[in-house]
Amino acid sequence: MMRDRVRLALVLPDLLGTYGDRGNVLVLAQRLKWRNIDSETVTVLSDSDSVPESCDLYMIGGGEDVAQVAAVRFLHRGPGLRRAVERGSPVLGICGGLQVLGTSFVTGDGVRHAGLGAVDADTEPGSGRAIGEVTTQSTLGGVGMLTGFENHLGRTRVGPGSQPLGRVTRGTGNGHDDAEGAVRGHVVCTYLHGPVLARNPKLADLLLEWAIGEPLEPLPDPPELRALRAERTRMHVRNRK
């Protein structure tokens, strides 16, 4: 039975909200509204006691080194997010959120910090920033090609306990093995901004289906999004030649 209300958690937007990734929560709420499903957004700020473990879907955005360190310290203090992951609640981590949810990340001062370990992924600084459009063929069934914009210094290596979200066909992605992002269970991490769910509604609906526990009726894509994806598909084809 479909639940009456879906609780969406926006985690630490005051620390990890540099690139407008809170827009992903707006996308999720709107796609639920179009299906006449109520939602509630629970915003967890850095002065909160902890992350509630009772939400249905969690979103963590991107930020710089100092913000990531503060965020991971906050998240280590309470068990809420870890328990939600163990229960199978979907989590979306973007850019810095990917690194915080990973096994470890190294900041610009050379210090290694323990992540949440929700995905098996280690991040170290690269020699230069990866900036620009990305296309990647998703490993998640039914999602297909993902597009987005990347802006990050980190280079992330996915370990055997996880799989990449996709294989890069244009852009840098993780910077290792043509991989982009990391997935374990219902935890999905990516470097793609855009916001990523606005540009990739199939991924948004997959996360919602995981949260609700049953399939959703498909929605038509707006013409602007169809035009954008057609353009990115042409770029994808040219890059493969």
CB count within 10 Å of CB 236 equals 17
Q: Is 95 left (phi over 0), alpha (psi -120 to 50) or beta?
A: left
95 is catalytic: yes
CB count within 10 Å of CB 176 equals 15
Q: How is residue 216 written in tokens?
A: 């959703």
Q: Is 224 helix (H, G, I), strand (E, B) or coil?
A: helix
Catalytic residue among 55, 95, 152, 189: 95
Task: Determine the Cα–Cα distance for residues 29 and 39; give it in Å rounded to an integer.
Answer: 6
Task: Determine the Cα–Cα distance for residues 171 and 162; give it in Å rounded to an integer.
Answer: 21
Catalytic residue among 55, 152, 189, 193: 193
Give me the active site residues, please. 95, 193
